[in-house]
Amino acid sequence: YEEQMHDYPELGDEAFILLSMAQAQFGKESEDIAAMVLDGMQTRTGQKSRGVDQAGFYVLMGASMPAILVEGGFISNAKEERLVRSREYQEKVAESIVDAIEQFVRKY
């Protein structure tokens, strides 16, 4: 799924297949916890939702468990950069993640 495959020589066809299989096995659970994190972040920060997407990210390779990436903001956006640098905003994002993990554990 990475755009520059030549940057990841160890991500050959076999590894890609294994990655896809591992992520597919926990797709529903990953989507659930991602939605829980997103809901908490929206509630706590008031930021607009960009939704939950699925993709095969190299950083998640080998994760044989529910796995997500959280985007707290984009430093390419001046307003979001200020938020991301703010200790208060960082704590809100972190609390959202912790609450979602606790909610996820109760559910599963």
Per-residue pLDDT of the chain (108 residues; tens, 9 = 90+): 456 656 666 667 777 677 677 667 788 899 999 999 999 999 999 988 888 887 767 677 667 788 899 999 999 999 999 999 999 999 999 999 999 999 999 998
Planar angle of CA 7, 11, 15, nearest 5 degrees: 175
- pTM for the complete prediction? 0.75
**pLDDT value of residue 59:** 74
Nearest to 58 by CA among 69, 66, 70: 69
**The pLDDT of residue 55:** 73
Q: How many Cβ atoms are within 10 Å of 1's Cβ, its own excluded? A: 14
